[in-house]
Structure 1
């Protein structure tokens, strides 16, 4: 399935209440040089195909360590293989290294294929970018329940369910904090491996209120240790109580941490 690696954390700019000089310096630097953001790196063994669900609007890096490599992609809208990956404004091909997709769109769900200069496959990523704007949010400490499994009839006996990631670290130490975990929409049929929902559906137009990613929040309390420098003293997302929608409060933030 492949593994995720967290990379390049950049804090949000200082709030307006802090020094005007620091705020001005941040703005000048942000326009002068490209700032590193926070992204997850999805590793996959050579000559393998790896499948994963991710959230849209959160940066991801797909490695391909091969000299002279070329990228092809196949989107889940029924189009054919294309060599125009670099034509997308939010995709940067880094030679001999991989592809950085910034704020990926749900419509960019599909297969990302890297081959070497001899035309042999190095790695293929099958990515389902699930729509972060439909994120279903619950708080475990308040007794709120995640989405239930549901059946889906598409000529078979599919079950729609949430595959949960491990809990992330507590957002503070030495006091009451919060932690969160992400869950992705998957579909499973009898005797078959589960697949992320929109990779399973392909080009079929199917809608269900159950087919959405989830985020669960819970209270946490951890002691401060020598590693407390890794804790982030601010939340990188906010939740609208009326609609239950979520958005990042830091332009370079990521819901993955």
Structure 2
């Protein structure tokens, strides 16, 4: 007998599947992101030229034909399923080679994601002090809690945390791999975190009405199938 699996998918514009990252004009923004989750780096110049410098190599590459990287018509750079090996400096320049904006990104490995549930008493990773030619603090930098996944009934919400290093209390902390470069450090904190907690929020009728419409798909699974990997093309851990 064939089992039928119903899948629910959102109907959204293509860009809706990506998180848009922006930075001020002629500025350098340093940040951490998770590997495996699509992003778009904003650069408001229609003839933008994108260059990439890896933390593992000294050469600067013109980004034109990499399989998972695409330059968008407005000048932005779309990274599909970015990997930790793509950690480095992304520089957007105009056609006169003048700097428009730069992003230095640490793509932290989602396959090593440390997950805890606050209501189950599970604890996130603890800060560590390391000697790297001087005393530095390695810690998890937490993003704000995301929205509750349900309204009017018990649900859950999550927040992401990234590995950061700080030299002094007043110094600006940096994502771990951007600080360390090619230096190898053995620490449990060298991984991103995901924390979950219970939530209960009232429904907002206006917000619910403005949601995109849905499309149903059906897939037939044979009883001989032991396992199957299902991918939601518009899913993102950032939402």
Q: TM-score range by the shorter chain?
A: 0.7 to 0.9
When residues 62 and 202 of structure 1 are mapped into structure 2, their CA distance, relative to the original with a 3 A threshold, is same
Q: Match of 1:213?
A: 192
Equivalent residues in 2 for 1:66-215 (5 A)?
66-83=45-62, 85-190=63-168, 191-215=170-194
Equivalent residues in 2 for 1:239-254 (5 A)?
250-254=232-236
Contact preservation (8 Å) 2:47, 2:75: no
Give a deviation string over 1:164-215, Cα, whole Å, max 9, x none. 1110001011111000000111000014210000011112233322211111
Q: Give the alignment's TM-score, normalised by structure 1.
A: 0.78
The residue matched to 1:141 in structure 2 has which SS? helix
* CA shift for structure 1 position 256: 0.6
* CA shift for structure 1 position 37: 5.2
* CA shift for structure 1 position 64: 0.8
Q: Distance in 2 between matches of 1:44 and 1:162?
A: 23
Runs of 5+ in structure 2 lacking a partner?
215-228
Contact preservation (8 Å) 2:17, 2:233: no
* CA shift for structure 1 position 87: 2.7
The residue matched to 1:223 in structure 2 has which SS? coil
Runs of 5+ in structure 1 lacking a partner?
1-14, 27-33, 234-246
2:17 paired with 1:38: yes
Q: Match of 2:238?
A: 256
**CA RMSD, 1 decimal:** 2.7
* CA shift for structure 1 position 69: 1.7
Q: Which has the higher contact order (CA 8 A, sep 6+)?
A: 2
Structure 1 residue runs of 4 or more that deviate by more than 6 Å after TM superposition: none
Q: Match of 2:208?
A: 228
